[in-house]
Amino acid sequence: MNTHSLKMIVVFLSLAALVSSSQAGDKRYLGGKWPANQQVSMDQVDHTTWNELLQLYVDANGNVNYTAWKANAAHVKALDQYLTGLSQATRSKQSQRASQLAYWINAYNAVTIRGILQVYPTKSIRDHTARLYGYNIWHDLLLVVGDKGVSLDEMEHKILRPLGEPRIHFAIVCASKSCPKLSNEAYLPDTLDKQLNDNAVAFFAEPGNLTYSRGQFQLSSIMKWFAEDFGANSKAQLQYISPYLTNTQARSAAAVGRGGISYLSYDWKLNDQKR
């Protein structure tokens, strides 16, 4: 191999390493590491602070007063302290399924809010989800849980979805207008089932998430992206959502899995009270 060829290989490998690094983005960590002897089960996590912050900054429509929240250093610090409290939990200690669901839904929403506060003012989370180069909030913003950083993408696809609860899709919120409404109360194990039911009813009551006319359903794109979570085929998917539909005609058709399905466009504008 001649010197020129060797130099070309070195340059190629250097560029490949640079591209790989850029694709990964800069990792940003939330929370903190706890000694193993201080780590706790998810049954023991306290969500009180998160509940209080949601009631202060999230309205009945699920929109967030990011301006006021970012301006209040004490409440930004309170969110950071809550995230540090979440870090104390470990998946290695046994916990109830309801506690796991509540924990990860709250964690997903809290990490998303913190990520938006880091870059606010902004118009959309999609401005911070680089596909090839640079920072992607879904992959590069990680919450330390036990001794491992967990991204939003991992929370959704590797932890929450495998728990087999499709109603999570009406609870985890990606800070966008077409997302489910961000609840202004924390999810708790004892009230989780009712909260998820209420979310599903509220979600499908929005015209932006469901319309029905002449045997045709127009559904949120969420139902397209995660179709398999709701059933093996369109009939099963309609039957799954039927109990949550307030439109009586739509509910009757969905109950027997009858109707065509198309999907509504998704509004990625920030769920900001200013917009």
93 and 42 belong to one structural domain: yes
DSSP string, 74-85: HHHHHHHHHHHH
Q: So what's the pLDDT on residue 95?
A: 98
pLDDT number for residue 133: 86
Residue 62: what pLDDT? 98
Q: Do both 94 and 143 map to the same domain? A: yes
Q: Which of 179, 203, 227 is the last residue of a domain?
A: 203
pLDDT the model gives residue 9: 30
Residues 122, 209 within the same domain: no
Same domain as 186, residue 222: no
pLDDT at res. 3: 42
pLDDT at 147: 86
Predicted pLDDT of residue 132? 85
Q: CA 1, CA 100: separation in Å to the nearest integer?
A: 57
Task: Report mean pLDDT in 10-residue bins for the chain, 275 residues.
Answer: 38 31 72 97 98 98 98 98 98 97 99 98 97 94 95 98 98 98 98 98 98 98 98 98 98 98 98 92
Amino acid in position 46: D
The answer to whether position 129 is within a domain reads: yes
Quick one: 139 and 248 in the same domain? no
What range defines the domain where residue 86 resides? 26-203
- Tell whether 112 and 125 lie within a shared domain: yes
For residue 132, being part of any structural domain is answered with yes
> Do 162 and 208 share a structural domain?
no
Q: Can you give the pLDDT at residue 174?
A: 98
172 and 256 belong to one structural domain: no
- 275 within some domain: no
- Is position 18 within any domain? no
Together in a domain, 85 and 214:
no
Distance from CA of residue 171 to its chain's centroid?
A: 8
Inside any domain, residue 12: no
Tell me: do 239 and 153 sit in the same domain: no
CA–CA dist 238, 19 (Å, integer): 43
Q: What is the SS3 assignment for 186?
A: coil
Residue that is last in its domain, among 186, 203, 220: 203
* 155 plus 240 within the same structural domain: no
What the block records as the tokens of 55 is 């009631």
Which helix (H) or strand (E) is 210 found in, with range?
strand 210-213
What is the per-residue pLDDT for 275? 74
62, 191: one domain: yes
Considering its fold, how many domains does the chain have in total?
A: 2
**Interatomic CA distance for residues 39 and 146, integer angstroms:** 7
The answer to whether residue 89 sits within a structural domain is yes
Side-chain half-sphere CA neighbours of 240 within 13 A: 17
Q: Has residue 125 been placed in a domain?
A: yes
Confidence (pLDDT) at 15: 29
User: Is residue 21 one of the residues assigned to a domain?
Assistant: no
pLDDT at 13: 29
